[in-house]
Structure 1
Amino acid sequence: MKHFQSLKYRVCAIPVKTFLLITVKMILLVWLAVVLVISCNGQIVNKYEHYLDDPAVKLFREYLQIDTSKEENIQTGLDFWIRQANDVGLPYAVYSPAGKPIFVATLEGSDPSLPSIMLNSHMDVVKAKASEWKYPPFDAYMDENGDIYARGAQDTKDIAIQYLEAIKRFKKENVTLPRTLHITIMTDEESGSAQGMKVFVNTNEFKTLNVGFAFDEGQTTPGDTILASFVDKRAWLMNFTIRGVGGHGSLMPDGTAMDNFHTFLNAVNEYRDTQKAILKSVANSTIGAASYTSININTLKGGIASNVIATEINAIMDMRLASNANPLDIQALINSWLRAAGNNNSVIYIRRENESGITSVDDTNPFWVSIRNTLNGMGIELKPVVKAAMSDAVYIRNKGIPTIGFATKTRTIHRLHAKDEYQNVETFLRGIDIYTEVLKDLANVP
């Protein structure tokens, strides 16, 4: 028994030299593990890291890194698309019907007598305040979850690259499509389309495209169902000027611009509260956005000095009209707000859209049937929705062309125009697969 115990102790004992050697090896292994989880660019290496080498992801990130919130970078974005067209072998044209460029690249179909399919998006994006973002908004950084952060990741640089990648597959696989496909890139959608789609649809160049159906930007959804918009709300954008008496900053006269603006704001908020109540009552409906008019004052300006009572307050208001809202009634409402705030106030309409066409989303629309059947065959549910905002689709629909706002951004938090806009890399790549199948079937609709 004593011999067994002494043998056990001899086996378990580790010389100091051996112990130190094992310890050093363990430290080296830990250090190596740390090195392996960090790439040379600071990207986190995990199951998503290999996607950074995917050509489609590289192209997406390159496009996102062009800061097209700045007018001076629009040409860089245009050069990007000219390069893509040349690389893929697509004929292209650049039109400027009202000053700003519109890019069109074409995959010609085998039957030019058939109306074409338009794949629309816009390269311009809204500004981003970098200090509010988790990562710089034009770095297109991919985090450890595979989320690519950038302005435009949801609105709408993603779909443009997905269109292009689907067309690349058609060409690589020698797929012949009866209908022609046109990729169209707008450059002023965010500023109201006055120099883009709104005028483009009235040109001979647009008529020559012979568009029979169009895709435009869709929306995100936290679930797995793809939401497709068939009508957009009408956008009204107004610049109000509320006036009042001025004077030295030490005085407190009645009827200042701020006094009158307070009255104006109370009237606006009274109406806004009624619309918020409607919003809450239809929150779970896919067509609920049709029921209420959204209203927000997004910029305020006033005053000339800190010790001078302001004589004017300027407020820019964004409204998106409910589907059943009568423009004449909305106009009367706005006039009542101005009267309530005094007799010397005014409004300038920056944008006032009174018409928004509707695309059928039933069996009478063969394009809708094709999209629905293709997605169902892939195990994906499709639901029609009213778009709460307004896109270029309005101008296309108003020409009588069926148009669907479509996007594959499922399991995605809505961050359009918000900080930390992102798209997961696998969601993006899956979208290419979806567009490939959907476009293939759409282009074969008789």
Structure 2
Amino acid sequence: MSAYESNEEIQIFREYLRIPSVHPNIDYEPCVEFLRRQASDLDLEFRVEYPKTEKKPVVILTWIGTQPELPSIILNSHMDVVPVFEEFWTHKPFDADIDENGKIFARGSQDMKCVGTQYLGALRYFKRNNIQFKRTIHATFLPEEEVGGVEGMRDFIHTDSFKKLNAGFSLDEGIASPTDTFNVFYAERSIWHIQFEIPGNPGHGSLLLKNTAGEKLEKLLNRFIEFRDSQVKRLAENPDLLIGDVTTVNVTQIHGGVQSNVIPPEFKMVIDARLALDVNHAEFENMIKKWCEEAGEGIKFDYEQKQPKVEATKTDKSNPYFTAFKSAIDELGLDIKLQVFPGGTDSRYLRGVGIPAIGFSPMNNTPVLLHDNDEFLRADVYLKGIEIYKKIISNIANLD
């Protein structure tokens, strides 16, 4: 039995982890009810918004500041988690088992139910000690982040309810770090999911027809692989670059064909591209158009997702919110590394409407296990994260 099992904050964290808010077809109501109880215990305002459908709730816990006219602080997290392959887990993924070393095994333990309840742990401390802040704090719990924020933050930011939050700054998720250094994310690459339709001459598999879909597919695919290799080379040659600093392209789907001896009339291919901050979007799209023309006539492409270029959150003295965040980090004696987030979070939508956002999950000396089997977080790391958030929230919520 772990010594941490009786800890109040650990008990609350594990209760949240036991709610299987897992894709697909999530029932968010147990999460809503859990958060309703938390709001009641913390004497926070509680409301639920439905930006798109009643099956996809946005939960908001609000603490009004002493100067509510100031722009508010958002403590953002998401309720949904990715699917599990239970046969590869040594602990049941929604039991939140804790072993003798204090490791808490559960889907969502790193991504990112930990952050949501760590926020609440910090607020619990402030409430019990009658500490108040100038700025209003909104702890927001979003749905559907793991599937691109569709019917979640993407729609919520355009509602009157969101605008009434008067948001000035947001904290959101980061990624664990296996070293002493904490990762801090100030920007994200633009996600483009590109769908290609590649037509060609159909016929018998024994012939050497011209302009087949397979030939065109090969030529186009080779262009993407060559570009991908160039980015691999950039990373290898410059030790200062991280994955978020380069553009990644990967083939994620190829469809086509009816049987082994029939040349098909079409192939379909999907490319997952993540455009680095230094990429000119128009030039990148024109490059793709040129590749299609070179591969053969009739190739078309469209976008399942095409995110615009979004300005990075400033990390200098021109951004008082980041200055307050960094001051807390320095006072705590923590080592951080500023990075571009390699994936996508709800922060991209906030930055897209001009709200500065920082991605930060206080998990160092922890293996990166988001979306992995046997995802876990150590109890001592979790509790230390609450202490870190106490200082960060205090600094930014009292910012003049």
Same fold by TM-score, threshold 0.5 exceeded?
yes
The within-5 A match list for 1:185-204 is 185-204=141-160
SS in 2 for 1:104: strand
**Structure-2 separation of matches of 1:144 and 1:254:** 66
Contact 2:187 2:348 in 1 (8 A): yes
**Structure-1 separation of matches of 2:63 and 2:259:** 58
In structure 2, the partner of 1:380 is 334
In structure 1, the partner of 2:374 is 420
Answer 1 or 2: which has greater helix percent: 1
Q: Aligned in 2, Cα 1:79/1:382: closer, same or farther, shift over 3 Å?
A: same
Pick the aligned partner of 2:64 from 101, 108, 111.
108
1:439 is matched by which residue type in structure 2?
I
Larger RCO, structure (CA 8 Å, separation 6 or more):
2
1:202 is matched by which residue type in structure 2?
H
Q: Aligned in 2, Cα 1:211/1:227: closer, same or farther, shift over 3 Å?
A: same
168-177 vs 293-302, greater mean Cα deviation: 293-302
In structure 2, the partner of 1:142 is 98
Pick the aligned partner of 1:214 from 149, 153, 170.
170
The within-5 A match list for 1:242-253 is 242-247=198-203
Normalised by the length of structure 2, the TM-score is 0.90
Per-residue deviation, 1:269: 0.3
**Structure-1 separation of matches of 2:361 and 2:249:** 26
Pick the aligned partner of 1:59 from 12, 17, 20.
12
Q: Aligned in 2, Cα 1:244/1:63: closer, same or farther, shift over 3 Å?
A: farther
CA RMSD after TM alignment: 2.4
Per-residue deviation, 1:118: 0.3
Normalised by the length of structure 1, the TM-score is 0.82
1:350 aligns with 2:299: no
Pick the aligned partner of 2:26 from 60, 64, 72.
72
Q: Aligned in 2, Cα 1:53/1:252: closer, same or farther, shift over 3 Å?
A: farther
SS in 2 for 1:329: helix
SS in 2 for 1:82: helix
1:267 aligns with 2:223: yes
The within-5 A match list for 1:286-435 is 288-289=242-243, 291-305=245-259, 309-435=263-389
In structure 2, the partner of 1:97 is 51
Per-residue deviation, 1:303: 3.5
Aligned residues with identical type, % of pairs: 36
In structure 1, the partner of 2:118 is 162
SS in 2 for 1:71: coil
Q: Aligned in 2, Cα 1:297/1:133: closer, same or farther, shift over 3 Å?
A: farther
1:165-201 CA distances to partner (integer Å, 9 max, x unpaired)?
1111111122112211101111122222232222322
**Structure-2 separation of matches of 1:144 and 1:251:** 66
Q: Aligned in 2, Cα 1:345/1:80: closer, same or farther, shift over 3 Å?
A: farther
1:342-379 CA distances to partner (integer Å, 9 max, x unpaired)?
32332221111122122221223222222222222222
**Matched pairs, number:** 397
1:177 aligns with 2:130: no
**Structure-2 separation of matches of 1:97 and 1:329:** 35
Q: Say which one has the larger Rg.
A: 1
Q: Which runs of 4+ in 1 moved over 6 A?
A: 249-252
Give ranges in structure 1 of 5+ residues lacking alignment.
1-44
2:309 is matched by which residue type in structure 1?
E
1:239 aligns with 2:195: yes
SS in 1 for 2:44: coil
1:314-366 CA distances to partner (integer Å, 9 max, x unpaired)?
33321111111011111112223333443233222111112212222122322
**Structure-1 separation of matches of 2:380 and 2:231:** 37
1:244 is matched by which residue type in structure 2?
G
